[in-house]
Structure 1
Amino acid sequence: MNRYLQDSFAPVHEELTAFDLEVTGAIPDHLDGRYLRIGPNPATDPGEGYHWFLGEGMVHGVRLEDGHARWYRNRYVRQHGDDFPPNTNVLEHAGRTLAIVEAGAKPYELTHDLDTVGPCDLGTVTGGYTAHPHEDPNTGELHAVSYNWARGNLVDYSVIGTDGRVRHQAEIEVTGSPMIHDCALTEHYLVVYDLPVTFDLGMVAGEAPRPLQGQLQATDRLIDQTLRRGRTARVLPYSWDADYPARIGLLPREGTSADVQWCEIDPCYVFHTLNAYEEGSDVMIDVVRHDRMFASDFTGPNEGPAYLTRFTIDTAAGKVREHRFDEHSQEFPRHDERLTGRRHRYGYAAGVVATGVRTGDSVLKHDLVAGTTTERRLGAGREVSEFCFVPSAPDSAEDAGVLMGYVFDPAAGISDLMLLDAETLEDVAAVHLPGRVPAGFHGNWASTG
């Protein structure tokens, strides 16, 4: 049976609402808002060929206020028309709660109570949106790279203003048609990953993987027909292309495709950036680096361990150095987002078991200045998810606050929302939920203030 339909990945089908949740420990009084997280949750049996990334989205939320856990809700993102319901990230921007995904699908707006409002065009971003925008803490604008299999070798850089609409957009020419799951932001640059996981018509046509470089060598009609078959079969039309050049691009924030400085790196794949910043003429980019992706396993990200790695781009020489920080396999890196695009010291991640199929029971804290990593084990058999950082005050120190994320206890069959002290990784509080939150993707704190 498909591993992404079993155990902690298995979908839940009941939409729950619970009030006045039991809490162990003490929720800090300053936390006034919602912790939101989303993930794939197939509504019907998707079959053995199912790819984890393609399940319908379900959002899970907990409302915290005055030291209490007021409610928990889980809700499907309900599909409108032929849209793909977002399943990858959920965040608050310009007063709206947005569920987002990539590869040409539209963002969806949700109510405060997580019911679906419907598609949201953000002022019409070309070719859909992304799962990973990055907010500039100085301006409040969202910067993103969006890709779409129908766009050939073009991807789009967009800036969404604090009014929730596009302020700036530019096309970027890449080598072929890559999957660009994330990007990065520095003070002066957008960082673009052009890496060897590329659009592959053969994957959804039931043939051997067939990488395509340059402009897509197929008609729009063939692409549409093939992808509709692939969507029905839950096949992800991307695979590893060993011949595709791996490179990182630096685009000046208000620049055009002609202004990108491209730098070659060793073949790898990056789902997630921790953070990036400039130091003199160097650009430092901290990521979780996979040696390859979707080369042998076409149901999910299961190609071996992944490590926190720094790419240092010498912009004067056009060269890139790599440095691996430690030997913990990990994913879902996060940082204090008040420092997005600026120099950071700390990063946090979920430990991943050696096979890479699921997270383990550990939360990692990296001190990137001291070069040390602290591991907090939450209990044998428990499974952590992504933890995000919430500061204790707007002007508090970088690690003064809490880490917040869902933890599943297989023995009990239910999940908790765990709050850890970001400095020590010790328990602050656990909110006990009425059910299980399946293994999923990304979450964020949506403050009421």
Structure 2
Amino acid sequence: MKPCRFEGEVQNVEVHGSIPPEINGTFYRVMPDPQFPPFIENDVWFNGDGCVSAFRIHDGQVDFKQRFVRTEKFEREREANRALVGKYRNKYTDIADLKTRTTANTNILHFNGKLLACKEDGLPYAMDPDTLETLGLWDFEGQLESATFTAHPKFDPETGEMVCFGYEAKGDGTPDVNYYTFGRNGKIRENVWLVAPVVAMIHDFAVTKNYVIFPLIPQTCSLERMKAGGEHWQWDPTIPCYFGVLPRHGPKSGDVKWFRSRNAFPGHTANAYENEDGQITMDLPMSEKNVFFWWPDKNGNAPAPTDLCSQLSRVVFDPRSDNMDLPEPLIIAKEDVEFPRIDDRFAMMRHKYCFMNVMDHSLETNFAAIGAVMGGGYPLFNALGQLDLGTGEMKKYFVGAQSMVQEPVFIPRSKAADEGDGYVMALVNRYETMSSDLVILDARAWELVAEVKLPLRLRAGLHGNWVDASDLAR
């Protein structure tokens, strides 16, 4: 978890095995990587500057490129030659005034010819997909009203529409949520304002053909606490886990319904779709305990990291119902999982396969060796999982006794391939050698076909996406 702080290029990276020729495009991922040591003691590990990696794969070869996002924070701190920004999402702890303090370090995606480096506390930064040059803060040519932009926009596979939202959309501590969408051409379509029942984290959301669903994590914000030098977030075990359901097309502010479930931590969404009876099904990991244990409750209570378990769960909504109390979520995978991904061609539709990170304690991971060198704060996953939702079978690929794996992405074998027929790619942290590998699995056989051996170590990242060469060229 030490900073990487590398910018540059590595051409024709070493490959073990054989990369299938149909894999042609770029895997972009972003990691929080502090440019300077923080002046906050025990600073949250993902309070680092956004650093974007690009793995360009073509003709069985890989070219690697990496650059920091030139945010206002990054440029001001480089000029001062020291850290200027304080606690995570608390401007009252800074030692300099910034117009925007976002680090753009959570997700990187391709839309309308630009890369967008996103963090949910501000607007995205646009980057050049080829050079990774930062083009500047991006408000979609003045169309965006919200002060914030989600790190998890969703894309309609049929229309190319990008479905988005911002929470705390009128500034820190505000309950306002702005829902908006952009057509493939970058023009705004829907734009409606909502008010959440509590000022809470909405890290991810889900989209169906006709609805959007906003899961509220019971990490709540208090401006008074922030002004006193405290944390932006504090776990609240006394409130429900809210799910806001809003019509996707032509909504009004009063159309949102806030369904309630028991207090829990909803993780990253896998997918959502509408059933034949009009109900909505959403799959996502859920934990009974506070996954972000570094932000405890008001009494300082937090679970031990070893006690955490997020299980892939299914939540069903009836958007026509006036009963806001939801039935107990159905657990569809008993393993401890996170970062679920699907074949994105089937987003917003009933899906059969789900790919995810798994922590399987029965596998022979050498935790004593890893713990001595890795540092803390990052969820640990020792396997890649493929879940067949039809049969319930979970296939696992163990990444090694002294390795941990990051978020996977799925690459279709071809545009016409069946769902789940393709490749799964993920970055692996090799703690024995303190280096990083990119592994590529054949999803059909669920076996390794290639391993890209980087000559350096990358810090643990958050999210990334695969962009096909034809989409980059369009």
Q: Structure 1 residues 128-137 or 345-354, which shifts more?
A: 345-354
CA distance in 2, matches of 1:332, 1:195: 16
How far did 1:320 drift?
A: 3.5
Name the counterpart of 2:341. Answer: 334
How far did 1:205 drift?
A: 4.4
Name the counterpart of 1:249. Answer: 244
Q: 3-state SS of the aligned residue for 2:10? A: strand
2:452 is the counterpart of 1:434: no
How far did 1:315 drift?
A: 3.8
How far did 1:151 drift?
A: 6.2
Structure 1 counterpart of 2:232, from 214, 227, 237:
237
How far did 1:341 drift?
A: 0.7
Structure 2 counterpart of 1:97, from 115, 123, 146:
115
Name the counterpart of 1:266. Answer: 262
CA distance in 1, matches of 2:36, 2:173: 31
Q: Which amino acid aligns with 2:238?
A: D
Structure 2 counterpart of 1:281, from 278, 281, 288:
278
2:422 is the counterpart of 1:401: yes
CA distance in 2, matches of 1:295, 1:89: 18
Q: Structure 1 residues 241-250 or 425-434, which shifts more?
A: 241-250
Q: 3-state SS of the aligned residue for 1:258? A: helix
Shift in alpha-carbon separation, 1:151–1:296, aligned structure 2, 3 A: closer
Residues 378 and 460, structure 2, Cα contact 8 Å, conserved in 1: no
Structure 1 counterpart of 2:408, from 375, 387, 399:
387
- Which runs of structure 2 are paired with 1:93-242 in the superposition (5 Å)? 93-103=111-121, 105-111=122-128, 112-122=130-140, 123-148=143-168, 149-150=171-172, 152-201=174-223, 203-205=225-227, 236-242=231-237
Residues 173 and 222, structure 2, Cα contact 8 Å, conserved in 1: no
Shift in alpha-carbon separation, 1:439–1:352, aligned structure 2, 3 A: farther
Shift in alpha-carbon separation, 1:142–1:295, aligned structure 2, 3 A: closer
How far did 1:316 drift?
A: 4.8
CA distance in 1, matches of 2:360, 2:167: 30
Q: Structure 1 residues 178-187 or 416-425, which shifts more?
A: 416-425
Q: Structure 1 residues 84-93 or 352-361, which shifts more?
A: 352-361
| Unaligned segments of structure 2, at least 5 residues | 74-97, 297-301, 362-375
CA distance in 2, matches of 1:144, 1:160: 8
CA distance in 2, matches of 1:347, 1:77: 31
Q: 3-state SS of the aligned residue for 2:345? A: helix
Q: Give the RMSD, CA atoms, in angstroms.
A: 2.2
How far did 1:53 drift?
A: 2.9
Q: Sequence identity, in percent?
A: 31
Q: Which amino acid aligns with 1:154?
A: D
How far did 1:80 drift?
A: 2.3
| Unaligned segments of structure 1, at least 5 residues | 1-8, 207-225, 231-235
Q: Which amino acid aligns with 1:106?
A: L
What is the TM-score of this pair, normalised by structure 1? Answer: 0.86
Structure 1 counterpart of 2:354, from 334, 347, 355:
347
CA distance in 1, matches of 2:234, 2:213: 22
- Which runs of structure 2 are paired with 1:46-85 in the superposition (5 Å)? 46=38, 47-69=40-62, 71-80=63-72, 82=98, 83=100, 84-85=102-103
Residues 305 and 356, structure 1, Cα contact 8 Å, conserved in 2: no
CA distance in 2, matches of 1:356, 1:284: 32
Structure 2 counterpart of 1:378, from 380, 399, 407:
399
Name the counterpart of 2:84. Answer: none
Shift in alpha-carbon separation, 1:293–1:257, aligned structure 2, 3 A: farther
How many aligned positions are there? 412
Residues 71 and 125, structure 2, Cα contact 8 Å, conserved in 1: no
Name the counterpart of 2:80. Answer: none
Structure 2 counterpart of 1:305, from 290, 295, 309:
309
Name the counterpart of 1:220. Answer: none
Residues 310 and 325, structure 1, Cα contact 8 Å, conserved in 2: yes
How far did 1:379 drift?
A: 1.1
Structure 1 counterpart of 2:446, from 391, 405, 425:
425
How far did 1:358 drift?
A: 2.9
Q: Which amino acid aligns with 1:93?
A: F
Shift in alpha-carbon separation, 1:406–1:188, aligned structure 2, 3 A: same
